[in-house]
Structure 1
Amino acid sequence: MTGFADHRNDTAAQGRKQARDDGMKERFEGPERIEAAVDALKATTIVRGDEALATAIAKAGHAIDLAKDQVLISEGDVDTDLHFLLAGKARIEVKGVTVNQRGPGDHVGEIAALDPTQKRAASVVITEPGVAWKLPEPALTQIAKDHPNIWRRLAIEQAKRLVQRNALVRPANAAPKIFVISSSEAAEIANEIQLGLAHSGALVIPWGQGVFRTSEYAIESLQRMVEQCDFAIAVIAADDVTLSRDRLHLVARDNVTFELGLFMGQLGLERTILVEQRNAQVELCSDLRGITTLTYPAGADEDLSARMGTVCTQISRHIERIGVRR
């Protein structure tokens, strides 16, 4: 981990040197270039062409170089400066996950600037070299005394960003959505689970019923199901035979094992259920054991509904207890 951090710091240092060599910061430095800074600030979303406000910000702040991979703001830090991006681009990261992008005309760091008691809520990492105008929080407060409309503009931009953030939040399903994984040979079991849960209020989608679209790769269709569903039920059957250590073993079909691992990794153990015939002795890799496992007795095909009744009741109760993802 240290090696990665050192590499990232080295890369950022090289980028800062390149930015200095390119003279981007120098375009806005010095009293004689204040007009260039004012013009650039007037184009930002907060200033909106207000020359008096742009001039006040220009006089109270200063230009800083932005280098590729530079961490301009670190999540959890206590600094409170507001940064106006005049050139270059940045990504916004929360817990290491990119949630948005920012570019020329945007500002970053407004939450801590608005409330100095708050730690940084996200990291800002430069993706394209450029230059920013750094405004200390005390200077922002002072400027707002003469230009109180800056608070309203910050509030408007904050509201827009809240809408952007909400667009990234997965809405909870109105009713539980369940994907049933199975081989084509075990499709009858999957269909019986769908019938058995018909009055549970849940939407049950067996593997073969309209999941895979002709315009998508199979993995894309599965990823779409992972994102949409609250639960996954994997029907494990003795679909194949494999030879291991000079012994023959009954195993599930490869696609069933893969899909089970895919859904388990995203939904977790609590939302992934195994269904298998009792005492069938089907081998399953150890990494996929530990999941809730429900079994049904062997018997005649015409008795399948009765044999699956207890399993469907247990599934229904489990889903009712856990509920949809939120």
Structure 2
Amino acid sequence: MLVDRFVGADGKRLLLEALRDQRMVTGDAALAEKLSEIRPIGIAVGNSIIEQGTTTNSLFLIIAGRFNIIVNGRVVAQRSAGDSVGEMSAISPTQRRSASVTASEESVVLEITEPQFSKLTSEHPGICKVIAKELARRLEQRNSLVTTTRDRLQVFIISSVEALPIARAIQNAFARDPFNVNVWTDGVFKASTYTIPALEQAVDQSDFALAIVQPDDTVTSRGEHDVPVARDNVIFELGLFIGRLGLPRTFLVEPWDVDVRLPSDFAGVTPVGYKLNKDDMANAQRVAGAMGPACNQMRDYMNSMGPR
């Protein structure tokens, strides 16, 4: 069996070589060594590692072989050695699988569970950046939608649940502008779903994206404890929008008084600051007042840029 090549002493050497070639690993020897402790799994032709509509949330690294990506019974793409599949469900464990992943030939994978993935991203934060770039690359390959010129600017707001009051305040501030402003909760993601197709559609219909980052989580990074970071799904969505819209059309709305750690590749995103006490988050009037200057700044910029 193909999987036997990657077990035992000689097999681990081959497994390490394959892992170093993984896009997600990008040659990181320490990360490859940690992943090599996971036992490889052999997948027979016709067997699926992911089923569309299910709520599993493991991520898979393809060590050898080839898989079909199947949506509603139709093959839409293929993935092979060096690729990963199942990223979005690992990032956002509550989402349902948006596609099935079925072996088109005998294959070998590593299964990374959501807890393992969370630990790995804490110890190797560069993983988030790599996956965001890969998802953006896949999105660029989609040519099914053609962007047309619009009279009203289409603005999409990304946030964590905790930052929704800020997102709503921005949406209200633009109510009289020639903008169509959609917060991620406004029907973009249907009940109990959070899929890449829904994100892709939102990206293709937008002229600008606003990502609201808050110190929603903390991590340990290079010996520093309790480093404030944004929620993982916000970072990934931000990466997708940057890949499609570009840096000039993506805003990073962040607090002035907290240094929220972000991947270094996001340094070129247009920053917009605000100052808001955490205790005031439940007071809509205070939130609106705090976001006024930031909204004025974004309004002027977006009007000057116009639609895509």
TM-score, with length taken from structure 2: 0.49
Higher Rg = 1
Higher relative contact order (CA 8 A, sep 6+): 2
